[in-house]
C-alpha cells in the first residue's frame, strides 16, 4: 500500500501523511541514514523510540557488504537489521559517483571497482532495481547518474538524458507488483534542464519524485534557486524527496519550497565529531569551556542525553574517545532533527510556518 495525502498547505509548504504498507509517515519527514544496515552508533529501537519510522539504507554498500545473498537469507533488510519501520533504499547513483574507483559509464550501465576489495562490479537499472526489491525496500529509487558539480550545460544535459533512459528501464525492471518507485530529477544548476528532466520523468510516471544531484558542492543560493523553479511543477499529490539534504536551515528552506522528504548523514556524522545541534546553532562539545559546565547540551531539550548528562560529562567522554559519547551525541542530534520536523509539521498544520521560520532564524542570532 502506498498512499500520500496532503493535510494542509501554507503557500508552497505542505504537511501530509505517507502510508507505506501499514506504516504512516508524517511529512515533511527526515530519514536517518543507515548506510550499512545500521544507523551509526544507534540501535534500531533507539531510532524508533525517538519517533522515526522510516530510514534510508544504501544499496551500493549493502550490495558489496554483506551482499544480497546474506540479506536475502534473512528474508529481507528489515529482518536482517531488526527494523520494524519503513525503509527507502537508494539506487547507487550517488555512491557510484562519489565512492567507486575507475568507473566507466556507458548507456548500458556502470563498470567500476569495489572500493572495498577492488573487485570488478557492473551495475545497471535492472540490477539496481533487482537488488532493492530483494531488500524488500518500501521505497525504491530509480538508477540514475548523479550529475557532478560543477558541470557545463552539455554535460548536465547528457547526464540527465542518461538518467531518463535509466529511469524508464528502472520502471520496466520492477518485478514486484507492490514496489514503490521514485524517479530522480537531474539537470545540474540549469532550470531548463531540470524542467526537461521532470517532463521526461512525468512521461514515464513514478510513485514519487526526488530531486538529485544536489548537496554535491553547490551553494545554498543555487540549491534554493533550483527548488524555486522546479518544486511546484512536480505533481502536487505525490511525495517530493530532496536527496542528501541537509542542515536544519537547508531543510526549512526546502520545505518552504514544497519538499516532503529528506535524508542526510549530517546529524549522525556531526554527533561523532562532537558537533551538537541547539536552537542557537552548533555547539562544539570539544571546546574547553565545557570542561566543568553542569548544564545539559540544551536547557529545554527533552532527549535522553539532555535529561541525564551534563556538557561536562559529554566533553569528558569525547576527550576519552568513549563510545558512549558517540551514542549520547547521536541521540541528541537525531532528537533535534525529529523535533525540528515535528515543529515544522505542526506549524504548517496551523498555518504558522512563516512565524516558525522567523523564530528559527531569530534564535540563531542570540
CA distances, 147 to each of 159, 184, 228, 251, 334 (Å): 6, 11, 19, 21, 29
Residue placing its CB nearer to a copy of itself in the complex, 319 or 352: 319
Select 78 or 345, whichever has its Cβ closest to a copy of itself: 78
Nearer to a copy of itself, 32 or 167 (CB): 32
Closest approach of a copy of itself to the CB of residue 266, in Å: 17
Q: At its nearest, how many Å lie between a copy of itself and the CB of residue 68?
A: 11
Burial class of residue 67 in the structure, from the number of CB atoms within 10 Å of its CB (0-12 exposed, 13-18 middle, 19+ buried): exposed
**117 or 237, CB closer to a copy of itself?**
117
| Residue 206 Cβ vs a copy of itself, minimum distance, rounded to whole Å | 31
Quickly tell me which residue has 499529490 as its cell: 237
Residues 6+ apart with CB under 8 A from 239: 4, 16, 18, 27, 182, 207, 208, 209, 260, 261
Tell the smallest beta-carbon distance from residue 311 to a copy of itself (Å): 11
For residue 211, give the H/E element and its range: strand 208-211
SS3 at position 197: helix
The least distance separating a copy of itself from the CB of residue 154, rounded to whole angstroms, comes to 39
Nearer residue to a copy of itself within complex by CB, 41 or 164: 41
In terms of CB distance, is 272 or 284 closer to a copy of itself?
Answer: 272
Supply the minimum distance, in Å, between the C-beta of residue 300 and a copy of itself: 19
Phi and psi angles of residue 50, each rounded to the nearest 5 degrees, phi first: -70, -15
What helix, strand, coil percent values describe the chain, rounded to 5? 45, 20, 35
Cα→Cα distances 157→164, 231, 240, 261, 313, Å: 11, 19, 22, 25, 52
**Cα separations in angstroms, 93 against 123, 169, 175, 184:** 10, 14, 20, 10
42 vs 259, which CB is nearer to a copy of itself? 42
Cell numbers for 29: 519527514
* Size of the chain in residues: 366
- How many Å apart are CA 291 and CA 284, to the nearest integer? 12
Give residues in contact with a copy of itself (CB under 8 A): 36-43, 61, 65-66, 69-70, 73-74, 80-82, 291-292, 294, 308-310, 312-313, 315-317, 319-320, 322-328
What is the rounded CA–CA span in Å between residue 137 and residue 88? Answer: 6
For the record, the C-alpha cell of 344 comes out as 515544522
- At its nearest, how many Å lie between a copy of itself and the CB of residue 326? 6
**Which residue, 213 or 325, has its beta carbon nearer to a copy of itself?**
325
CB of 342 to a copy of itself, least distance (A): 24
Amino acid at each position: 500500500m502506498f498512499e500520500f495525502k496532503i493535510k494542509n498547505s501554507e503557500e508552497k509548504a505542505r504537511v501530509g501523511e505517507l502510508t507505506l504498507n501499514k506504516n504512516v509517515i508524517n511529512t515533511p519527514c527526515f530519514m536517518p541514514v543507515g548506510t550499512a544496515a545500521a544507523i551509526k552508533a544507534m540501535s534500531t529501537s533507539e531510532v524508533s523510540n525517538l519517533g522515526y519510522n522510516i530510514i534510508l539504507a544504501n544499496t551500493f554498500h549493502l550490495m558489496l557488504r554483506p551482499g544480497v545473498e546474506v540479506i536475502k537469507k534473512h528474508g529481507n533488510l528489515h529482518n536482517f537489521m531488526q527494523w520494524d519501520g519503513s525503509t527507502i533504499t537508494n539506487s547507487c547513483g550517488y555512491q557510484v559517483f562519489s565512492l567507486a574507483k575507475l568507473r566507466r559509464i556507458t548507456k548500458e550501465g556502470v563498470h567500476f571497482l569495489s572500493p572495498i576489495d577492488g573487485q570488478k562490479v557492473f551495475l545497471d537499472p535492472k540490477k539496481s532495481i533487482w537488488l532493492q526489491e530483494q531488500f524488500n525496500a518500501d521505497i525504491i529509487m530509480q538508477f540514475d547518474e548523479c550529475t557532478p558539480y560543477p558541470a557545463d550545460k552539455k554535460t548536465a544535459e547528457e547526464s540527465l538524458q542518461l538518467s531518463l533512459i535509466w529511469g524508464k528501464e528502472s520502471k520496466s525492471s520492477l518485478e514486484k507488483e507492490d514496489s514503490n518507485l521514485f524517479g530522480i530529477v537531474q539537470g545540474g544548476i540549469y532550470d531548463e534542464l531540470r524542467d526537461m528532466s521532470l517532463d521526461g520523468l512525468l512521461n514515464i510516471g513514478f510513485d514519487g519524485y526526488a530531486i538529485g544531484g544536489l548537496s554535491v558542492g553547490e551553494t545554498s543560493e543555487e540549491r534554493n534557486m533550483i527548488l524555486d523553479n522546479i518544486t511546484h511543477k512536480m505533481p502536487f499529490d505525490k511525495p517530493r524527496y530532496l536527496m542528501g539534504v541537509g542542515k536544519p536551515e537547508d531543510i526549512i528552506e526546502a520545505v518552504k519550497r514544497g519538499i516532503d522528504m529528506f535524508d542526510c548523514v549530517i546529524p549522525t556524522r556531526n554527533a561523532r565529531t562532537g558537533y551538537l545541534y541547539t536552537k542557537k546553532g552548533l555547539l562544539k562539545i570539544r571546546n574547553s569551556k565545557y570542561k566543568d559546565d553542569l548544564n545539559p547540551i540544551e536547557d529545554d531539550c527533552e532527549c535522553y542525553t539532555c535529561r541525564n548528562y551534563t556538557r561536562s560529562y559529554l566533553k569528558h567522554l569525547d576527550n576519552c574517545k568513549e563510545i558512549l559519547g558517540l551514542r549520547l551525541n547521536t541521540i541528541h542530534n537525531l532528537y533535534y532533527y525529529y523535533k525540528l520536523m515535528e515543529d515544522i509539521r505542526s506549524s504548517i498544520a496551523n498555518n504558522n510556518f512563516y512565524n516558525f521560520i522567523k523564530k528559527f532564524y531569530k534564535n540563531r542570532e542570540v
